[in-house]
Amino acid sequence: MDMMTRIATLTAECLTSTWPEAQGLPTADEIRGLLAVPPDREMGDYAFPVFRLAKALRMAPPMIAKALCEAWNHPEVARVEPVNGYMNFFLNRVNFAKETLDAVLAQGERFGSSDMGSGKTVCLDYSSINIAKRFGVGHLSTTMIGHSLKRIHDFLGYKTVGINHLGDWGTQFGKMIYAYKTWGSKEEVEEKGITEMMRLYVKFHEEAEKDPSLEDEGRAWFKKIEDGDEEARSIWNWFKDITLKDAARVYDLLGVEFDSYAGESFYMDKMDVVIDELREKNLLTISQGASVVDLEEDKMPPCIILRSDGATLYHTRDLAAAVYRKNVYDFDKCLYVVAYQQDLHFRQLFKVLEKMGKPWAKDCVHVSFGMISFEGQAFSTRKGRVVYLEDVLNQAMQKALDIINEKSPNLANKEEVARQVGIGAVIYSDLSNGRIKDIDFSFERALNFDGETGPYVQYTHARCCSVLRKAGAPLAAAEVDLPEVDYNGLADDEAQHLLRLLSRFPDVVKEAADKYEPSMITRAVTDIAQGYNKFYYEHRVLDAEPGVAAARVALTKAVKDVIKTGLWLIGIEAPERM
């Protein structure tokens, strides 16, 4: 049991023993949610606001706080003080240091994990790249937020299913086949891959402006794909294979994997059942020739299921996908990591599922995020401002290598460390702020070793590894065998602040899962890195008195493990030397 939980439990017991007849008193879990860290350390390590007890106890908050402090009698807390409507706790610092380090070192890199998700399944729909298009920087957020949420839920014991819902259906593929057969060649596509496919797609639109009848040719070829024409399907599948091979390079660099690549086309033969169900439940109405679900009473535009020509749309395929995922995976939650511009789409989707009588509609969640720009420039395909993610990652690795050559020219495995640092800088930049915020990526900011950046946190991990090597302590083992540990050496403000950050890490992981917010973990490991560096500069670690040195080495090991775990949860590697 961590310290905050213990304080909450003891406070709940203190409440009930002091006012045994009172009704409506908060539970230990509720008290834990109210515990806060005072802004000024002199006010205590934790504070419990008692204002909400005033109604139940019919007393003024300052009187409640005073009575609770007078009734308190637990050695885990050195003293308690009433301050206005707060009950301030001052921990027994030596005991707190020992208990926190015992907990962290016993679990090592599994500290913060749990089995709370045991027996539950979470589906995650993320990345969802488009066939015949290169992997743009605009797909970074969906990819890394989804990847991080998958790792977080894995860490908490859930079974996860990562789904790359490929954009592999639509008239554009008919246009591409026509362009390929008219102006392309197999050799050129084999040699140049997506670059050639994009050239052919642009060529089609240029020629279609001169001859609009080409649009009919594109539609005709897509109709062949729909009808299962052997040649059309063969070329279409070939385009998909080339795209996925191209994307695989980026996914490999990012360390991202998926359990399913079932895209839009996968659900083409699964839509009729859903459409029939909508008809049977009298949910479909005709509007201007199209079949729609009326959502006026829900203050939304109608959800179009079939166009006037009978063609299906994104909503049709997404309904089929949701039903399929529930039937196959029996998910407890299905997360859609998609930009906030699609908010209306998903509100309509979930509302239609609800109207269909699907009780699990409430378990479908749109995990939205903001836009990303690059060095102050928004992306625009039409204006030629397309930045490819692979190019950004390669530039980041090269810039990292340049910095390493300048600052640590004798570092072993420089290229490998440059990969870890460069890729980590890009990911950290994406996951450092709340996901709904827009991001402006900058190489200068991302690769700064002094600010709140990926390289800064990685460097702190490497610093911890260096201290442990000099101390002769194991880097990987969960326990540190250090005799005569004197925990009085961790009673200072810097060590205590760091220990509080470590002790709260399991809560951060759970909250990040609850709020679908990886940036909470990014913030936590950054705070720990900053806390350790302040501790490191204020206190001698290895050449202190032996018992104190042993305690500080143990703290260093705990910090190293938690930073490595936190970085892994957001998809970043932790070099041992930098």
More confident residue, 438 or 206: 206
Minimum mean pLDDT range among 1-10, 493-502, 507-516, 552-561: 1-10
Supply the pLDDT for residue 382: 40
Give yes or no for a contact between 570 and 521, defined as CB atoms under 8 angstroms apart: yes
Supply the pLDDT for residue 75: 83
413: left (phi over 0), alpha (psi -120 to 50) or beta: left
Alpha helix ranges (H) inside 472-545: 493-503, 505-514, 519-538
569, pLDDT greater than 90: yes
* β-strands 439-441, 372-374 pairing: parallel
DSSP strands (E only) in 107-223: 121-125, 159-163
DSSP state letter for 133 = S
Tell me how far apart the alpha carbons of residues 516 and 436 are, in angstroms, rounded to a whole number.
Answer: 11
Give yes or no for a contact between 267 and 163, defined as CB atoms under 8 angstroms apart: no
Task: Encode pLDDT of 297-307 as tens digits.
Answer: 999 999 999 98
Phi and psi at residue 555, in whole multiples of 5°? -65, -40
Task: Encode pLDDT of 412-454 as tens digits.
Answer: 999 999 999 999 999 999 999 899 888 777 777 777 777 789 9
Supply the pLDDT for residue 455: 94
383, pLDDT greater than 90: no
> Token pair for residue 531?
């806390």
Going by pLDDT thresholds of 50, 70 and 90, the confidence category of residue 372 is confident
3-state SS class at 78: strand
Phi and psi at residue 499, in whole multiples of 5°? -65, -40
Share of the chain above pLDDT 70, in %: 96
Phi and psi at residue 484, in whole multiples of 5°? 55, 45
Tell me how far apart the alpha carbons of residues 553 and 466 are, in angstroms, rounded to a whole number.
Answer: 11
Angle CA 480–481–486, to nearest 5: 90
Tell me how far apart the alpha carbons of residues 403 and 278 are, in angstroms, rounded to a whole number.
Answer: 60
Tell me how far apart the alpha carbons of residues 423 and 249 are, in angstroms, rounded to a whole number.
Answer: 13
384, pLDDT greater than 60: no
Angle CA 497–502–503, to nearest 5: 95
Query: What pTM was estimated for this model as a whole?
Result: 0.91
Pick from 563, 555, 562: which is nearest to 467 by CA? Answer: 555
DSSP state letter for 287 = E
Q: What mean pLDDT, rounded, does the chain reach?
A: 91
Task: Encode pLDDT of 52-81 as tens digits.
Answer: 899 999 999 999 999 999 999 888 899 999
When pLDDT is averaged across residues 355-366 and rounded to a whole number, the result is 98
Q: In the chain, what are the domains?
A: 3-91 (3.30.1360.70), 421-569 (1.10.730.10)
Tell me how far apart the alpha carbons of residues 130 and 138 are, in angstroms, rounded to a whole number.
Answer: 12
Supply the pLDDT for residue 519: 97
Task: Encode pLDDT of 169-183 as tens digits.
Answer: 988 999 999 999 999
Pick from 577, 573, 578, 576: which is nearest to 255 by CA? Answer: 573
Task: Encode pLDDT of 493-511 as tens digits.
Answer: 999 999 999 999 999 999 9
The CB density around residue 124, as the number of other CB atoms within 10 Å, is 26
The CB density around residue 407, as the number of other CB atoms within 10 Å, is 10
Supply the pLDDT for residue 7: 92
> Token pair for residue 141?
């957020």
> To which residue do tokens 């990345």 refer?
127
First to last CA, the chain: 36
Tell me how far apart the alpha carbons of residues 170 and 219 are, in angstroms, rounded to a whole number.
Answer: 9
Minimum mean pLDDT range among 45-54, 117-126, 245-254, 443-452: 443-452
Share of the chain above pLDDT 90, in %: 77
